[in-house]
Every structure is written in C-alpha cells, then in structure tokens.
Structure 1
Amino acid sequence: MSYISSRETQDVSRHDEDSEDAPPAYQLETSIENVPALDYLGLADDGRISIDLNSREADLGVQLASTKESRTSWNIRLNIVIQIVGSRGDVQPFFALGQELLKYGHRVRLATQDAFAPFVRDAGLEFFSIGGDPKELMAYMVKNPGLIPSMTSLREGDVQRKRTMIAEMLHGCWDSCIELDPISDRPFVADAIIANPPSFAHIHCAQALGVPLHLMFTMPWSTTGTFPHPLANILINGSSINSAIVNRVSYAVVDWMTWRGLSDIINNFRSSLDLEPVTATIGTSFIEQLRVPFTYCWSPSLIPKPSDWGPHIDVCGFFFRETTSYESPLYITKFLSGGPMPIYIGLGSIVVKESARLTSILLEAVRSCGIRAIISRGWRKLGTGIANSQDILFIDDCPHEWLFQHVSAVVHHGGAGTAACGLRNGRPTTIIPFFGDQPFWGSMVAAAGAGPLPLPQRMLIAETLAKAIAFCLTDATQSAAANMAKSMSTENGVEAAVRSFHTNLPIESLCCEIILQQPATWMYTTSNTSIQLSTTAARILLDQHVVEPKELRLHKTSPTHIQNRRRDPVTSVTAWGASTTMGLTKAATGMIYEPINEIIKARKPLSDSAPSQTSITTTTKAAGALARNFGRFNMYAFKGATLDLTLAAAEGFRAVPKLYGEQVPSHGEVMDWKSGGVVAGKNLTPGIADGVSDLSVKPFEDAKKEGALGFAKGIGKGTVGFTSKTASAILGLVAYPGQGICKSLRDLAKTGTKKAITSRRIEEGEWLLRNDTTDERIQFKS
C-alpha cells in the first residue's frame, strides 16, 4: 500500500492548486505488496537504536525539527471546532479566524447560537447550533450588568432560565465536537478546539477527547496586576493597598463567583462525559494551572501585553475580515452625499426596554450638536415610527467595515469588535456601556485619547451625550484616533492568531507517522511497537488486514489532567469534609426526593392519547431511584471516610514545605492502578529521607544565613519538614494506590463517551475512504 505519483518527486510543502509546478494528486494503490514494514526501528547489539536515515521516520524527525524552528508553513490538516457564546460582536471576529484557518487546509466548524447561522455560512464556514438564545442572554445581561443578579431577576426566574440555557449550550458544545454536519451528514470529530471562555464547555470537551484547546477572547480573562478584570468594579477610594494586588484579586473573585453559580451544572456535564467532578478548591483556577494557550484579539497598540503574562499568552491584534466589495443601498448613498459627513450611532445586539426614551435622547443630543447622524435600529428597533430626514437616517444591518469609512465619529455600546473597527478607520469613539467588558473598552479608548470617558447607559442624558460627541469632533481627538489607526495598520491580528494557534499545538503527538498531512487519531500498539495513525491510515491498514482492531486504541494528542492542588493539611481536609458532606446530603435527599418525583411523574399522562404508566413500572422506577441514591450514599460514606480523607491528608502534608519557600518536586500523575503504585513509591523513599535530613540540614543552612536566629528557624523548619514529609510518605502508601485503583475501576465502568468517540472515528475513516478526492495531495512516506 502506498500513495504513488506519476512524477518521481514528492514535495511535502504547500502548493498553489493552480500552479503548473504543483505535484499531481496521489492515488491509493490497492495492492498490499508495497505496505511498509511497521517494525521500522531496531535495536543494535549494544542496545542503541538503529535508525535508517533514508526511512520515512527519519524524514518525519527532520520535518518535526524544522517545524519547531520555523512555523511559517503548516501541513497537518485538522478538524477544528470554534465554540463561541455571546453577542454578534463576540461571534463575528471568529468568522475571519475561521476563513484564515481554511487557507491552511483545515476543516472549520463554528459552533454557536442559531441566530448567527446565516452569517457563519455566508463566511464559508460550517455551522453547528449549540442552542441558546442570544437575545435572551443580552436581555439578562442588560438587566444584570454585574455578577450578582438583581432581586427582580430572581423573582422573575431569569437566573434559572439562564442556568438552563447554559446547561443546554454545554451539551450543544459537546455535540459540536463529534456529531455529523447537519447539512451534508459528513462525519466530524474535533482534532482541536478553539473557544472563548464563556462557552464553558471547552476544557471539558478537550479532556474527554484528548485534543488541544486554545482559548481566544476579546477581553482580558487571565490574571494580571496591570488592570482589573473587566467584570469587576474595583472601588479603592484612596486605599493604600497595592493596585496590582487588587487587580489580581479581582480575577480570583470573578472566577470564584462564576464557579459558585455554575459548578453543579458543569459537574453534571462532566459526569455525562464520564469525567470526574471538579472540586471547589480547583474549580476557579485549573485553566490557569494547566497553562492553556490563550490568544487575545485586541491591538497591542491599544493595550500592550502585560509583563506578568507568560509565553503561553499572546496579544495578536484585532480580528478583521478581508475587505469585500459592498454596494450600499441607494438611500444610504444619497444620505451620505446629501450633506456634511455624519456620525454613526449604534447599540448592536443590546436589548433595551425603553427604546423610545433612548431614541429621544439620541436625537436630542445630535440636534443640539448641529450635526447629521446615521442611527442603527439594532435588535430593539430604535426609531420605530420616526421618519428619516436630511439630518437623521435610521438603517438596519450595514457592514461597519464599509460604513465607518464614511462617518466622522462613532457612538456605540462598547463591543470589542465595533470599537476595533472604529479605531482601525481612525474614527473617534464614544462608548455607552451596558454591561460586561464594555466599560473596560470605553476606558481604554479614553486612555488612548481617541474618545471621552464612557457614559454608562443608566446615567445617559442628552446633555452629556452631546458633550461627548463634541469631544470626539475636536482636532486633538481626531488626531489621536488617526494615530491609533496608523499603528493598527501594521498589525494583522488574524494571521498572528493562527500562528499562535499552530505554535502551541503538540506537533510530535499530533502528526500521523504514515500520512504526514493528517493528524494522529489512533495508536497502533504491539509488544514492541507504537505508531501514531491517522483515521485514514488506520482504516486502510485494517482493510488490508495489516493490523487487528484489538491493536488499535484511541490516541490522545493532548491529554488533560485536572489535579486537585492541596495547600496544607487543614484546608485540604476541610475541603474533603465539605465535598463529602455535600455528596452525602445530595444522596440522602435523593433517596427521598427522586422516588417521590417518579410517582408524581407517573400520575401525569405523557400526552392526551397516551395513558399514565402502570403501577408496576412506577414502583420499579421509584425503587431504582432509591437504590441508586442508597448506593451513592454508601459510596460517599465509605470512600470519603477512607480513601478521600487519606488522599487529602497525604497531599496536604506533602504541600506544607511550600509554605516556607521550599520547592516540592512532582511525583507524577495517578492515572490507573499501576501509576498509583509508582507515585506511592516516588513519594515514600524521598519523603522519609528528606524528612529525616531536614532535622539536621535545615538548622545549619539557616544558621549560615541568619546566625542564632536562623538556627532556631531551621529547627522549626526541620521539625515541620520531618513531620509533614514522613506523614505524607506513609499515608501515600494507601492513598495513591487506592486512588489509582478507583480510577481504573471508573474507567472500566464509564465507557459511554469512549465508545461514542470510537464509533465516530470509525465512521469518519469509512467516509474518508469512500469519498477520497484526488486533489487532497496526501503524502505517504514509504
């Protein structure tokens, strides 16, 4: 089996499809005579590995090394799902990103709410609905601009509706990773995930699939001391507290409140994916602990990358779509040419109740300035019933990229995309923030001198808006906006973001070792060989009976391990107590509530024509619910009181040396019963040896630094070190193997998600072979 060409040269680089020099398409030769040997590596007599430099494996190594050195090209074609939740302004920048990814041969699916389906498909991308209603979401955000919902929202049930919507979208995001294309029925399994943080499902989907995750967003979401979290309203009021500390704390507070509101929904979602629950101690920070790659799509000219962000975080520039030809409606063209250049006013997808009052304020401000204006009606149809005039024009949808070239200033709600488009065109900007990151962008624009301070919509009156518009029309503001546009003209945020995405991919584990342009999805494993195979390669080898199904297993190109980081014995045991108590309470409540709920449901007919279920069925379901929760109660009681407590104490004692500045080496991950024993061994001998040595070493080390006082401190450290390290070592003998056994048993019992992924990968492989196109130019190394 090989892919053969009528030409001798096989060029692996990207080629123009229309180029005469491009190699012809590779055809699959069905004969099995040319199947390369899979045992390509051998051991020499002295134990060294023999490598044939003419083999495809050596060539792969050269490719991997050169890829590390220069990422100017990319040859592996991936199935990429982009999961985005938010308004149109949140979704639209990713149209440009998806279009750029298509240029590299990737297959791109944009998963978001139904309302944006036409725009996604018009951009040439595949669309997948994750459910949810963006209008309802925007209405909730306007009503509750902060993190804490208002009493009105609580009374009207808004919070529960939002939680239900988020649960729906979580499951929709998972479906977007593995379900068929809804139009073509073509199989799709994600090889990589790009997402914005509010989609929430991203890390859990990536963990279940074992694929890379890359977060991208239009607002800061990573802890920094440079500025506060955009969703936090910091009130220092002359406090002497260091502002950098306050800023960092703001991220922790927002994360904590978000987690508190959604933890049960997220853990229920994780359970549906056969993943272990995330505890409260790590639920607010595991994204940062895992150092998930993050790309921020704003201009570094406007907001430079903070110095305390690591190399896994990039600031690439705003995402703009390629300029396309647009012919404006005649009524817009006539208005633009009928007088002085107008300003633009638009609130995008913001949903407001008092649209008539807001329209009145806008019109009064414009008239008091003696200027002309184009006003976008938006989702709440501003200006309904008001006729257009020579100075005021109400419009529906119109591309900002085109329109902002023809206005003198822009007034809007502060969406990142709209702000970016205004600045790119050198237009001074007034921002009327409603919620979220909008006040943040208003402040950033004002700091750049390209507009006034933001005008919160709750305090908006015609007089203040008129002053803000007048500020935008001054020479100084116009000049600052023009300078910002000049700086941004040298940036290409979309290209930079794609480079960032490619650079952070795990190329070594991602690449198929037979068909180099395809990602590895299977691992072929025998007693002496392991080879990464793509979906197509695996399917071909199976059909040719070169490999057996039992020799293949799903390959995780980027495994995710969420670890419960312990700080000390007290907090770890306290967290164990809270978690165990919550589990026991939930199970005990379930023993009463769920059987009663089954009885209540049984009394309600399924439909007008369908009778209620029989008493036997009802009794069976009620008994099943009782038994299920009784089992959970016993599990929490036994496992919680033995293994979980021992593990919490072992990890807590192990973390104690961090409190006085000592580095605690990693003992590895507990993945199954085998690794549990390994970790216990790694924790035992060094733990006891280090604990004993601390009694004598620490006093003399500290005495050299601080004399007698240091000697006393050293005795204290040595005593604490001996106690904590030996305690962790001894407890770990039970805790880590027990944890490994539990994980192994869980893996044996929880196989639904793994079976679903396996089934989808098989479907994908069969589809690819049936529909193999000759213009793919897949390269096979033989």
Structure 2
Amino acid sequence: MFNITNHVVDCGGAKTTITDNGRLNIKVEKPEMMTTSPHWRRPAYKTRDTKAKIQECHATPSLNIVIQVVGSRGDIQPFVALGLALARAGHRIRIATHGTFKEFVETHGLEFFNIGGDPKRLMAYMMQNSGTQASGQIFWTNYLISTPYTVHLLLSSAYTPPPELEEFLNGPSPIYIGFGSIIVDDPKKLTLLLLEAIELAGVRAIISQGWGELGSEDLVIPPNVHFIGSCPHDWIFEKVSCVVHHGGAGTTAAAMACGKPSIVVPFFGDQPFWGSMIAKIGAGPKPIPFKKLTAPDLAAAISAALEPEIKQRAMELGEQIRNESGVDAGVTSFHHHLEHSNLSCGIVSSLPAAWKIRGTDIQLGSTGVALLVNRGLLSTDKIELLRPQKYDLNIGPRDPFSGMAFAFIDSAAEISGGLGHFGASTQELFRSIFEKGSVHSGKRSAFASSMEGIGKASINVVRAPIDISFAFTQGLHNAPKLWGDHHVELPETVEGIPTGLTAASKELVFGVYNGFHSLIMFPGQFAAHRGKRFDILPGLGFGTASCITKSLSGK
C-alpha cells in the first residue's frame, strides 16, 4: 500500500502536506505570488459601458455568487444572461435552480446546482393557489440578487427550426400564441377557444404547446394554424406580427425587444402588472385575465394589436431596448449596491472577505486566514464567519385574530403529538413487561420514550400562552396594512436574551412614535390616495386604529 501521509509537495512558493487525518496543510512561503500569478489575476471586465463603470468593477474583488431561481425557463433565462455578464466581470457564478434546466445552464458555461423540485408541479400549484405567498425561515447571505424587473436581460439563442416550421413561415406573417409554463385544467377547451379566436380574427397563427400541452388532443387543425414545441422566443418572435402570451417577465421582455405588440392574458403573480404596463406604454391592448378570456374578446385584441399605431409604438420600444445593454446595466447595478467596506480581505485585497476576527472590524478571506494561521499569528478560535447582511422572511400573521388562531392550532397539535407519543410508548412499556423474554434494556428504552412524549407535551403547554400572545402581538403589528397603512416596520429578529432585550427596547420607543405618526399623517395620505378631500374622516378613523395597534404591538 502506498502511504501518502506527511508527504510534502513544493509548488513554487506553496508547500502542501498531506496529514495523517487526510487533510491538506497548505503553507504559502511567498504571499506575493497570489497577486502576481496568472491564476489569481481576474479577467478584464468586457463591457460596452463607460470607463468609469469598468474602473468601478475592477475595484470589486472576485466573488463567488450563487443565483437561485425558482420557476420556468422564462424565469431562468434572464438570470443566465446576468450570470454570463457577471462571469465576464471576473466573478465565479453558480445558478441554483431545478434539475430540468441543468443542460441549459451548463451549455452556457455556468456552474449548476440542483435545488430539486418539479417546475411543472410548481406552476400547476400556482394556478390552483394564485393568491398564495411563500414564507420561510431566517437565512444568511452576503449578497442577494433579486428578479431583474428594471432592466432587460436578454440572451441570444442559436436555433435551427424544423422543416415544417420553416415552410409555414414562408407564408404571410403569422401571430404567435403561447403561455409558456402555464398549466391549465382543460387544455382542450383552451385550444378550441384559441382556434375560434384565430378564425374570427382572420389571421395565421403559430401556437406553442408549452407545458400546458395545447393541441395535444385529437383535434382538426386548420391549415392556417401550426403547433410547435420548444422554440427560443428571441428567434420566433422576429418572425411573427404580434405575440399573445401570459405576461411572464421574460416573455414580455423578449416580445418588447423584438419590437412586437403584445396581447397579455395574465394568470397570476406579476403577470397582470406586465399586462397593464404593456397597455400603458401603447405596445398592446388592455390585458384580458384568463378567467375572463373569450374567443371574441381575444379576436378583438388581436385586431387591435395589428393596428398601425400599436405596431409602430412596439417597433420604437424594441429599437430603444436593443440599443440598451441590459446585462451591463445589471452588472453595474450589482456592483453599485455592494457595500465595498464589507467586501475585501484585509491581506489579499483582490479576494473577498469571508471571516472576521472576533471583537474587531478586521475582515479576512480564506487565504488570508490560512496565511496568518500557518505563521502562528492567528488562532482559528479567534475568527467567526462574516455575515454582512441577514434577512428575516418571517413577517408574522396579517392580523391578531388569525395569528392567535393559528398559534393555538399549532400548540394544540404539538401537545397532542406529545401525548400521543407518551401513550404509544407507555403501551409498548407495559407490553414488554408482561411478555415473556422481555429485555430489561427494552423496558428502559420504552420508559425513556414515554417520558420524552410527556416532556414534549409539558413544554408546549408552558409555551402555548407565550406563542399565542406573541402571535397576537405580531398580528397587531401587521394589522395597519389591511387598511392601506404601509408604514409598518419589519419586526426585530430575536435570537437570544441580548437581542430580545434590544428588540423590546426599540419596539417600546418606536411603537408609540409610529402610532402617533400614523394618527397625524395617515388621514391626509388616505384622502390623497382616494382623490377625495372629504375622505379625511375615514382616514382619521384608520389613523386612530393604526395608532392603537402600533402602540399596543410596539411598532
């Protein structure tokens, strides 16, 4: 057997020792090599933006960035475009999304991480629960990249169409109809509605089957309609006269970039917003919510979208968007919003900080820590993970009564679970006592399990009043949002006695202040929002309610 323990390898200034516990001990003899070696140099930031923005990018150390995206291809694609631009800026990018998109991400040269989940099931769930909002626990991250709503992040696609599609496109310009990842309960009914609308409008059409599998039933397809499978939006939209779609952010951006009018049929989420924005800027008619969609209304919308004024406006917007560089703007925005004081290692400034020396403001990267530890200048028990920002997604119940109800149900379930565990374990204990050949250790195990159950029930009996009152307070805290008072601060995070005392002192002071702020300011804001001077009296009532709830809840 070949023994590699304590084997030393000299790598030109860095010695690596394989220790007997299997770890690698890397000792860097020449720290300057890390800033002069080509391996540590960051690639130049290739951008069409200004010189000042390039210099700003160079001032940012190379970061490891994970972009997590949940949703459909239209949700993923803009982030891949942003990821490619960030990679050109010298960062290491990993896209964390569903396994369905692994090939798509890796084909563009980005790292991939599978977060699990089936996006088709997610879309089906969203269709059935369009008002549901996700909730989660506290999580920590250095930097958060949100959905790119304010810039157009476009990704060019190379595509070779099948012969049938090429042949269909040789005729008069068709319209495009596709709802992407939307899954409907009755695809046949929707397909028949679309075919009727196409006939009424007197147009040729390409219908994308999408995840909803439109046209998969045995239907008679007229010669002026052609069904297609997966096809890049930026390619197909260039070949059509207008686009009928669900109003997803990615699809909306692609249609606008190609200069095509949009007819939005929103289903849920942000889709109604994009539909209203398209109509507001004159790039399409008013959106038609899916639940109100009829063949005559869709046919009328198609005819309106093909009017010269709307087509001209869509072309102008498309030219404007194509002259912009959305991904460069996204990278610049990302760098601009970074807190540069929290970025760099204090020793190797080209690398990001990942650690902090306890009790100080000194920040170090992993390489800097390794240098100091290897030279005996720092002990590992003196450092802690650097967490510049923490986000709390648990904003609590929307009102005090539902908060109390759900807290009571949760407490009752925990108590019942503990008592049930106690009963089952006690039954097992007596069975082991009276059966022949019972093992003494088995009795002890059953006894300990029964005590665990009664302990769990007892703890939750004690905690129940605390949890219920806390939920009531959180509900009071959020209640002003119900009548439009959004001057509600996020609740403080409590992780122990010190943070609990800090949170309590802040809420005691700011609760009363914010309450009287609403009493004074909200009546006028309410009247201004309603556009009626005489609505100040109802506003005064809501302002008084805000004052009471905020003062009682602490914020």
Q: TM > 0.5 between the two? A: yes
Give the corresponding residue for 1:121.
Answer: 106
Whether 1:551 aligns to 2:382 is yes
Distance change (3 Å), C-alpha of 1:141 and 1:9: closer
Q: 2:263 aligns with which of 411, 430, 442?
A: 430
Deviation at 1:440, TM superposition (A): 2.5
Deviation at 1:8, TM superposition (A): 8.9
Query: Could you tell me how far apart the structure 1 residues matched to 2:459 and 2:278 are?
Result: 58
Match of 1:478, SS state, is helix
Structure 2 counterpart of 1:123, one-letter code:
H
List aligned pairs for 1:268-667, cutoff 5 A. 296-297=148-149, 316-321=150-155, 323-337=156-170, 339-384=171-216, 385=218, 391-525=224-358, 531-559=362-390, 585=412, 587-596=414-423, 617-634=445-462
Query: Could you tell me how far apart the structure 2 residues matched to 1:392 and 1:563 are?
Result: 49
Deviation at 1:340, TM superposition (A): 0.9
List aligned pairs for 1:708-719, cutoff 5 A. none
Contact persistence 1:410–1:430 (CA under 8 A): yes
Contact persistence 2:60–2:343 (CA under 8 A): no
Q: 1:3 aligns with which of 31, 37, 40?
A: 31
Structure 1 unaligned blocks of 5 or more: 19-66, 148-197, 217-295, 298-315, 566-570, 603-612, 653-667, 688-724, 726-731, 733-782
Contact persistence 1:317–1:491 (CA under 8 A): no
Deviation at 1:477, TM superposition (A): 1.5
Per-residue CA deviation, residues 321-358 of structure 1 (Å, 9 max, x unaligned), is 1x243332333222212x11111111111112322222
Structure 2 counterpart of 1:463, one-letter code:
P
Distance change (3 Å), C-alpha of 1:547 and 1:352: same
Give the corresponding residue for 2:516.
Answer: none
Distance change (3 Å), C-alpha of 1:405 and 1:618: farther
Contact persistence 1:434–1:457 (CA under 8 A): yes
Structure 2 counterpart of 1:204, one-letter code:
I
Match of 2:301, SS state, is helix
Contact persistence 1:409–1:429 (CA under 8 A): yes
Contact persistence 2:44–2:89 (CA under 8 A): no
Deviation at 1:514, TM superposition (A): 0.8
Structure 2 counterpart of 1:556, one-letter code:
R
Per-residue CA deviation, residues 636-682 of structure 1 (Å, 9 max, x unaligned), is 66x789xx99xx8xxx9xxxxxxxxxxxxxxx998766788899999
Distance change (3 Å), C-alpha of 1:543 and 1:381: same
Whether 1:205 aligns to 2:139 is yes
Distance change (3 Å), C-alpha of 1:92 and 1:598: farther
Whether 1:103 aligns to 2:88 is yes
Distance change (3 Å), C-alpha of 1:84 and 1:631: same
Query: Could you tell me how far apart the structure 2 residues matched to 1:396 and 1:511 are?
Result: 47
Contact persistence 1:365–1:463 (CA under 8 A): yes
Contact persistence 1:423–1:485 (CA under 8 A): yes
Query: Could you tell me how far apart the structure 2 residues matched to 1:416 and 1:682 are?
Result: 39
Q: 2:61 aligns with which of 60, 76, 89?
A: 76
Query: Could you tell me how far apart the structure 2 residues matched to 1:533 and 1:82 are?
Result: 23
Contact persistence 1:542–1:548 (CA under 8 A): yes
Give the corresponding residue for 1:259.
Answer: none
Structure 2 counterpart of 1:629, one-letter code:
A
Distance change (3 Å), C-alpha of 1:514 and 1:373: same
Deviation at 1:405, TM superposition (A): 0.7
Query: Could you tell me how far apart the structure 2 residues matched to 1:7 and 1:360 are?
Result: 65
Aligned length: 457
Distance change (3 Å), C-alpha of 1:392 and 1:600: farther
Contact persistence 1:14–1:75 (CA under 8 A): no
Match of 1:440, SS state, is helix
Deviation at 1:615, TM superposition (A): 6.9
Structure 2 counterpart of 1:136, one-letter code:
R
Query: Could you tell me how far apart the structure 2 residues matched to 1:680 and 1:347 are?
Result: 49
Q: 1:112 aligns with which of 97, 106, 120?
A: 97
Structure 2 counterpart of 1:595, one-letter code:
F
TM-score (norm 2): 0.68
Match of 1:82, SS state, is strand
Deviation at 1:421, TM superposition (A): 1.0
Query: Could you tell me how far apart the structure 2 residues matched to 1:124 and 1:15 are?
Result: 15
Match of 1:518, SS state, is coil
Distance change (3 Å), C-alpha of 1:92 and 1:601: farther
Distance change (3 Å), C-alpha of 1:411 and 1:535: same
Query: Could you tell me how far apart the structure 1 residues matched to 2:98 and 2:386 are?
Result: 31
Contact persistence 2:60–2:340 (CA under 8 A): no
Match of 1:75, SS state, is coil
Deviation at 1:617, TM superposition (A): 4.3
Structure 2 counterpart of 1:205, one-letter code:
F
Distance change (3 Å), C-alpha of 1:599 and 1:457: farther
Query: Could you tell me how far apart the structure 2 residues matched to 1:383 and 1:679 are?
Result: 57
Match of 1:215, SS state, is coil
Deviation at 1:512, TM superposition (A): 0.9
Match of 2:56, SS state, is coil
Query: Could you tell me how far apart the structure 2 residues matched to 1:139 and 1:577 are?
Result: 31
Contact persistence 2:93–2:111 (CA under 8 A): yes
Deviation at 1:478, TM superposition (A): 0.8
Query: Could you tell me how far apart the structure 1 residues matched to 2:503 and 2:193 are?
Result: 67
Query: Could you tell me how far apart the structure 2 residues matched to 1:669 and 1:383 are?
Result: 51
Per-residue CA deviation, residues 481-524 of structure 1 (Å, 9 max, x unaligned), is 11222332343333222222222222212221011122212223
Match of 1:71, SS state, is helix
Query: Could you tell me how far apart the structure 2 residues matched to 1:368 and 1:81 are?
Result: 48
Give the corresponding residue for 2:15.
Answer: none
Deviation at 1:137, TM superposition (A): 2.2
Match of 2:139, SS state, is helix
Query: Could you tell me how far apart the structure 2 residues matched to 1:505 and 1:139 are?
Result: 37
Distance change (3 Å), C-alpha of 1:563 and 1:389: closer
Deviation at 1:469, TM superposition (A): 1.2
Deviation at 1:407, TM superposition (A): 0.7
Higher relative contact order (CA 8 A, sep 6+): 1
Deviation at 1:408, TM superposition (A): 0.7
Contact persistence 1:13–1:75 (CA under 8 A): no
Contact persistence 2:62–2:352 (CA under 8 A): yes
Deviation at 1:559, TM superposition (A): 4.6
Distance change (3 Å), C-alpha of 1:587 and 1:15: closer
Structure 1 counterpart of 2:283, one-letter code:
A
Query: Could you tell me how far apart the structure 2 residues matched to 1:683 and 1:142 are?
Result: 39
Query: Could you tell me how far apart the structure 2 residues matched to 1:354 and 1:7 are?
Result: 61
Distance change (3 Å), C-alpha of 1:588 and 1:535: same
Match of 1:556, SS state, is coil
Higher alpha-carbon deviation: 448-457 or 93-102: 448-457
Query: Could you tell me how far apart the structure 1 residues matched to 2:417 and 2:392 are?
Result: 30
Match of 1:476, SS state, is helix
Distance change (3 Å), C-alpha of 1:591 and 1:327: closer
Structure 2 counterpart of 1:553, one-letter code:
E
Match of 1:92, SS state, is helix
RMSD value over aligned CA atoms? 4.9
Give the corresponding residue for 1:85.
Answer: 70
